[in-house]
């Protein structure tokens, strides 16, 4: 999430003010005016109207304070904010505070309920005695924005910022009230009040709101022309675009998933991740690769056109499986222990190259499989099973003995097979 932050504040002793704003930011609008009047709307030129948050009325001094908010400025640049229903002069004032990093759907935290306010006709001069009362936030790192209006007859009191707050607007007189604003970030969600300290015991209206942090994220464009990248994230999911032109990359993340596009043109890559799952495309044109990661799984495509590789991985076991039709080769390179399986029809070749982790795999050439037992080209990979079964029936051997016989037979066949295959490659 992006944390909300103060950008600027402007004020005017009227019902309107003009300022230059940035699209995507938000606005808090505070007004104080004759309680005989009513704000009918707060407009922001070129944008949606602001939404009312709360009103508090001082019946003794006949003043009302109101707070409005605009969660998302859709049209930046010079805008005029107008509190309609208040006369342009002689009845009140307006303050506009721009913030960034806020939630652009509803910037008032706790589903719009993070706000508070009250009238104090004799707050006293103690530290933080001027208070909005508590509001409650639901999101960590909410920005607490507070305003106080000294609407007393004398207005001699000087307002200091509350404990932990940064003062923004400093004791500015707007028509019939002297006002100050402040804000602070509340790291942990919970109850908090906007507070000030007055130098004289004078009447005031104080209000506060909690501004919710906004969400951030990256995604590839639908036509594949964009590049989706999540860098240094604790958890990131980056999909490639639908036509595979874009490159999906998750870099330096603690846990990443990078998927290739549906037509296989794109390349799925997870680089430098602590744990990564990289899947090749359905037609096998793309390359599934897990490079330099502590644990990696690389899966062959269904038609065997692509190559499944587990390259240079830190784990002690690297497994690469050939495709079902055996056209492609499975390659497990430079791992301390590697397993590679031949395809089910015997046409493909499985290789485990450089097992001592000091070699790199030579170029792989698809060649016909060799029947180690007969010297022909029609292998019978399960012949040892039939022989073992016959021997079992003859000798009534137990399962453990049969398993040991199978392991011995497989080891011998594998050694002969690899030796013949390497001779063909050379």
- Residue 73 is predicted with a pLDDT of 98
Beta strands in 292-367 (DSSP E): 298-299, 308-311, 318-321, 330-333, 338-341, 350-353
Mind listing the pLDDT tens digit for each residue in 212-268?
Answer: 999 864 333 334 333 333 333 333 333 333 343 333 333 333 333 333 333 433 333
- Residue 404 is predicted with a pLDDT of 82
Mind listing the pLDDT tens digit for each residue in 70-81?
Answer: 999 999 999 999
Does 339 score more than 90 pLDDT? no
**Is this model's pTM higher than 0.75 or not?**
no
Mean pLDDT of 185-196: 98
CA distances, 172 to each of 41, 56, 157, 379, 390 (Å):
24, 20, 12, 93, 101
Based on its alpha-carbon atoms, the radius of gyration of the chain, rounded to whole angstroms, reads: 36
Does 335 score more than 80 pLDDT? no
Mean pLDDT of 143-151: 97
- Residue 243 is predicted with a pLDDT of 41
More confident of the two residues 176 and 239: 176
- Rounded to 10 deg, the angle between the 383-395 and 399-425 helix axes is 160
The whole-chain average pLDDT of the chain stands at: 71
Q: Helices (DSSP H) in 118-238: which residue ranges?
A: none
Q: Helices (DSSP H) in 298-398: which residue ranges?
A: 383-395
Does 60 score more than 70 pLDDT? yes
- How does residue 156 score in pLDDT terms, banded at 50, 70 and 90? very high
3-state class (DSSP) for residue 219: coil
- Residue 382 is predicted with a pLDDT of 63
Half-sphere exposure at residue 321, Cβ-oriented, CA atoms within 13 angstroms:
13
């Amino acid at each position: 999430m992006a944390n909300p932050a103060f950008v600027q504040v402007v004020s005017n002793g009227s019902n309107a003010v003009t300022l230059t704003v940035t699209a995507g930011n938000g606005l808090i609008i505070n007004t104080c005016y004759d309680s005989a009047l009513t704000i009918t709307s707060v407009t922001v030129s070129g944008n949606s109207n602001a939404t009312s948050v709360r009103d508090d009325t001082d019946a003794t001094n006949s003043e009302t304070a109101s707070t409005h908010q605009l969660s998302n400025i859709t049209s930046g640049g010079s805008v005029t904010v107008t509190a309609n229903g208040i006369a342009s002069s002689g009845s009140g004032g307006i303050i506009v505070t721009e913030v960034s990093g806020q939630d652009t759907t509803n910037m008032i935290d706790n589903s719009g309920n993070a706000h508070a306010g009250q009238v104090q006709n004799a707050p006293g001069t103690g530290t933080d005695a001027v208070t909005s009362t508590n509001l409650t936030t639901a999101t960590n790192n909410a920005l607490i924005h507070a305003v106080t209006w000294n609407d007393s007859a004398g207005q001699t009191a000087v307002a200091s910022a509350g404990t932990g707050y940064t003062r923004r607007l400093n004791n500015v007189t707007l028509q019939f009230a002297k006002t100050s604003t402040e804000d602070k970030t509340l790291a942990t969600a919970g109850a908090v009040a906007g507070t000030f300290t007055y130098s004289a015991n004078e009447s005031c209206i104080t209000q506060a709101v909690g501004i919710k942090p906004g969400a951030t994220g990256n995604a590839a464009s639908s036509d594949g022309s964009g590049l989706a990248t999540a860098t240094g994230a604790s958890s990131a999911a980056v999909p490639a675009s639908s036509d595979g032109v874009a490159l999906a990359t998750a870099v330096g993340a603690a846990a990443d998933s990078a998927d290739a596009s549906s037509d296989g043109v794109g390349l799925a890559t997870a680089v430098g991740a602590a744990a990564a799952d990289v899947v090749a495309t359905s037609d096998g044109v793309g390359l599934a690769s897990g490079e330099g990661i502590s644990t990696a799984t690389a899966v062959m495509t269904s038609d065997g056109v692509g190559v499944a590789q587990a390259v240079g991985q830190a784990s002690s076991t690297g497994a690469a499986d050939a495709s079902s039709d055996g056209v492609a080769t499975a390659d497990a390179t430079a791992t301390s222990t590697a397993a590679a399986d031949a395809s089910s029809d015997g046409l493909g070749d499985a290789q485990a190259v450089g097992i001592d982790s000091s070699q790199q795999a030579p170029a792989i050439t698809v060649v016909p499989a060799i029947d180690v037992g007969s010297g022909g080209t029609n292998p019978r990979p399960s012949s040892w099973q039939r022989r073992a079964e016959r021997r079992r029936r003859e000798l009534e051997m137990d399962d453990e003995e049969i398993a040991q016989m199978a392991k011995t037979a497989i080891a011998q066949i594998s050694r002969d097979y690899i030796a013949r295959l390497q001779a063909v490659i050379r």
